[in-house]
Structure 1
Amino acid sequence: MSASASDEGTKGLSVFVVEDEALVALNLEDMLAELGCTIIGPVMRLDRAEQMLADGIDADVAILDVNVAGQMVFPFARRLAENGVPIVFATGYGRAGLPEDLHDMPILQKPYTMDDVALGLRSAVSNKSA
């Protein structure tokens, strides 16, 4: 998939990134920039992500690492979803690593490609509008 085909449906999206591994976060930032997204973060700690949510984060979609510095992200993810922010989970655990109530959320299976990111973002945003 070419970059122009990849960014169809992602260009202009504001993406909140929660990822505690610096190299993974930098790689994801590069992918999102190439897809034409605006990046919020990356945030490497859940307490900082919680503060940003409390301050009124303005994101079209979020990409959340499932395990952030030893803490599972699911309670935070539910709060984001309650605030109308679609979620894509980034995980090495696969769908089986998600609680059952979150199984309908798109996942990025680590390691992922830019095409995977584009597909996950489009899926999350289309689920919101469905």
Structure 2
Amino acid sequence: MTGQAGGPAGGLLAGRLILLVEDDRLAALDLVQALEAEGARVVGPVASVRQALDLIEATPGLDGAVLDVELVDELSFPVADRLRDRGIPFVFETGYDEHIIPEPYRDAPLIAKPAQAKLMTQALADPVRCRPG
């Protein structure tokens, strides 16, 4: 499933192209709805590092990303590295304690699951707060 529909003209994320990496289908649906309600155009959701890396390569103009830290059998840190290399801000989400995040990534915002839509959109809307390193 790939949501490409845009949300309303206004909103905190109006017109921004956001990659969603989330392996839980229900959580992904909720996040797509929340992001689109704030005006974002969502790329994904995808549930693996490979799919996310492929979408980053195939999608010019990404404005940000939401990364579930722990996917089915892997961690999303390689995706964070690629985004960081390209200067694309990202937000981590996880149901685990913040200590799961290694030191090099602790400057990125971390939203606890279940993701609170308001916190997620605020973090993505503030490029200074959201931009890694």
Band the TM-score falls in, shorter-chain normalisation: 0.7 to 0.9
On the 8 A contact 2:53/2:82 being kept in 1, the answer is no
SS in 2 for 1:16: strand
The TM-score with structure 1 as length reference comes to: 0.84
* Matched residue, 1:3: none
Structure 1 residue 94: Cα displacement = 3.6
Which ranges of structure 2 fall in alignment gaps of 5 or more residues? 1-10
Counterpart position of 2:98: 95
Partner of 2:70: 67
Count of aligned pairs between the two proteins: 123
> Is 1:52 aligned with 2:79?
no
The residue that corresponds to 1:106 in the other structure is 109
Cα distance in 2 for residues equivalent to 1:91 and 1:57: 27
Which TM-score applies when normalising by structure 2? Answer: 0.82
Q: Bigger shift: 47-56 or 80-89?
A: 47-56
Shift of residue 95 of structure 1?
A: 2.4
Identity %: 32
2:15 corresponds to which residue? 12
Q: Name the one with the larger helix percent.
A: 1
